[in-house]
């Protein structure tokens, strides 16, 4: 089979490109487009032979897209317009302009791509941008499916609940559509799918006893949920994703005392034997709350013994107790591992650690997207 010609929009550090490679589909990325200079350096470093266009998507004409004559379009449009923190500007947000431009182009292309894969944040599924996308796809003769999925559904102990849409030109699918090809084991469709790191909104009601904080702001329900997740053998253990301890410069990644003292109750702490971690965002390493889990390196210290009655301790004693846990950030390599990037992926030397976290936080889970691409093209 001839290699599919793929256009990768909002290419970032190439999560979609790695997913294509991992899927085994015969494909060639004929153009990748992004305006972020750091992400582009990383992309170019890993895919030196791929044409990377450092320009805005809305600045590329229909004629130029037509000349690419592509079979597949993959894209992760900017997500800030659809997140709660991003104020949900949706289609009125300037950052959605390029996406609306793509929707404008699609019906006008001489040859529409046979396959489309789109990734975005939770929140996109209820947006007007999604409504416009769906209308455009229907008008252009595509069949499509939408999912809310997390890497936990492919055995990776990291939550990153995201919206995915896969579309095929209807001439590709025959009369049966393509929903029949989607095995339950991989996909939980619909927005209420269980996610093992608590991103799901469908939590059962807890009694006041269960809601009582035991330690570290955690209730009985939280502790039970985490321990259920950690016993779920369909998920791999965090230790499978760690760098050899001899290769980690512990000092560089240890959580600084000031952060420990101020934010210890907000840290999501995991051990190497755990089968869960929370989503790594672009603020990892800079902000504490909700930006990603941290790793306990000294396993002989019991968490409970550190946190019980901590509020009654002097600053000095509090710090001493917290330091006993030896808490550290996951290294960028480890975050990349949890996001399914292959070992061949690397950063150019000049990219700093905060920049690495930043671009990784904007990217996607490569293994999960690989599986979706296989389903889309199969
Ligand atoms: C969610 S990230 C995509 C990340 C990518 N999938 C990856 O694996 O790293 C969105 C990307 O879109 C880029 N971007 C935003 N607006 C753009 C525009 N108008 N034209 C081109 N790129 C744009 C940003 O620089 C950012 O890298």
Ligand 1 pocket mutation pick from 37, 103, 362, 364 by most atoms within 8 angstroms of CB: 362
CB neighbour list of residue 222: distance below 8 Å, 6 or more residues apart: 198
CATH code of 4-196+364-377, in short, is 3.40.50.150
- pLDDT tens digits, residue range 282-311? 999 999 888 999 999 999 999 889 998 898
274 is catalytic: no
Instruction: Note whether 152 and 117 are within 8 A (CB).
Output: no
Whether the pLDDT of residue 335 is over 80: the answer is yes
Tell me the CATH number of domain 208-358, given options 3.20.20.150, 3.90.120.10, 2.70.98.40, 3.30.70.260.
3.90.120.10
- pLDDT tens digits, residue range 195-248? 434 444 445 566 776 666 666 677 888 888 898 999 999 999 999 999 998 888
Q: Which residues line ligand 1 (CB under 6 A)?
A: 10-16, 33-36, 39, 56-58, 76, 78-79, 98, 362-364
- Residue 211, pLDDT score: 66
**Any idea where the domains of the chain sit in the sequence?**
4-196+364-377, 208-358
Ligand 1 pocket mutation pick from 10, 53, 336 by most atoms within 8 angstroms of CB: 10
The rounded radius of gyration (Å) of the Cα atoms in the chain is 22
290 CB neighbour count, 10 Å cutoff? 13
Region 345-368 average pLDDT: 98
Instruction: Measure Cα distances from 306 to 44, 276, 323 in Å.
Output: 46, 21, 9
Atom of ligand 1 nearest to the CA of 39: 27
Nearest C-alpha neighbor of 281 from the set 117, 146, 162, 124: 162
**Catalytic entry in 79, 264, 274, 279:** 79
Q: What is the mean pLDDT of the chain?
A: 89
Question: To 5 degrees, how large is the angle CA 327–CA 357–CA 369?
Answer: 110
- pLDDT tens digits, residue range 240-271? 999 998 888 888 999 999 999 999 999 999 99
Span from the CA of 342 to the centroid of ligand 1 (angstroms): 21
> What does pTM read for this prediction?
0.91
| Phi and psi angles of residue 280, each rounded to the nearest 5 degrees, phi first | -90, 125
Total residue count of the chain as it appears in this document: 378
- pLDDT tens digits, residue range 1-48? 789 999 999 999 999 999 999 999 999 999 999 999 999 999 999 999
Atom of ligand 1 nearest to the CA of 95: 16
């Amino acid at each position: 089979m001839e290699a599919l010609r793929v256009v990768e929009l909002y290419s970032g550090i190439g999560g979609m490109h790695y997913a294509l490679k991992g899927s085994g589909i015969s494909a060639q990325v004929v153009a990748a487009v992004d305006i972020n200079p750091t992400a582009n350096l990383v992309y170019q470093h890993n895919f030196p032979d791929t044409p990377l266009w450092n320009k805005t998507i809305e600045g590329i004409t229909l004629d130029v897209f037509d000349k690419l004559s592509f079979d597949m379009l993959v894209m992760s449009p900017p997500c800030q317009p659809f997140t709660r923190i991003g104020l949900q500007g949706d289609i009125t947000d300037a950052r959605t302009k390029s996406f609306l431009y793509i929707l404008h182009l699609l019906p006008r292309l001489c040859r529409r791509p046979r396959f489309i894969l789109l990734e975005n944040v939770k929140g996109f599924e209820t947006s007007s941008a999604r409504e416009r996308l769906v209308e455009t796809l229907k008008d252009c003769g595509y069949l499509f499916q939408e999912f809310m999925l997390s890497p936990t559904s492919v055995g990776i102990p990291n939550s990153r609940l995201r919206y995915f849409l896969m579309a095929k030109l209807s001439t590709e699918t025959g009369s049966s559509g393509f929903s029949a090809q989607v095995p339950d084991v991989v996909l939980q469709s619909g927005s209420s799918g269980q996610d093992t790191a608590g991103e799901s909104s469908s939590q059962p009601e807890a009694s006041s006893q269960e809601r009582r904080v035991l330690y570290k702001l955690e209730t009985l329900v939280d502790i039970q949920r985490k321990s259920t997740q950690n016993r779920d053998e369909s998920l791999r253990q965090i230790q499978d994703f760690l760098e050899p301890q001899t290769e980690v410069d512990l000092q560089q990644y240890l959580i600084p005392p000031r952060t420990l003292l101020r934010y210890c109750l907000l840290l999501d702490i995991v051990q190497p034997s755990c089968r869960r971690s929370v989503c790594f965002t672009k603020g990892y390493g800079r902000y504490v709350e909700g930006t990603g889990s941290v790793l306990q390196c000294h396993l002989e210290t019991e968490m409970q013994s550190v946190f019980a009655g901590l509020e009654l301790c002097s600053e000095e004693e509090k710090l001493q107790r917290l330091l006993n846990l030896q808490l550290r950030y996951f290294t960028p390599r480890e975050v990349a591992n949890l996001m399914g990037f292959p070992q061949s992926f690397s950063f150019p030397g000049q990219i700093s650690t905060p920049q690495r976290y930043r671009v990784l936080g904007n990217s996607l889970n490569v293994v999960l997207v690989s599986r979706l691409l296989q389903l889309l093209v199969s």
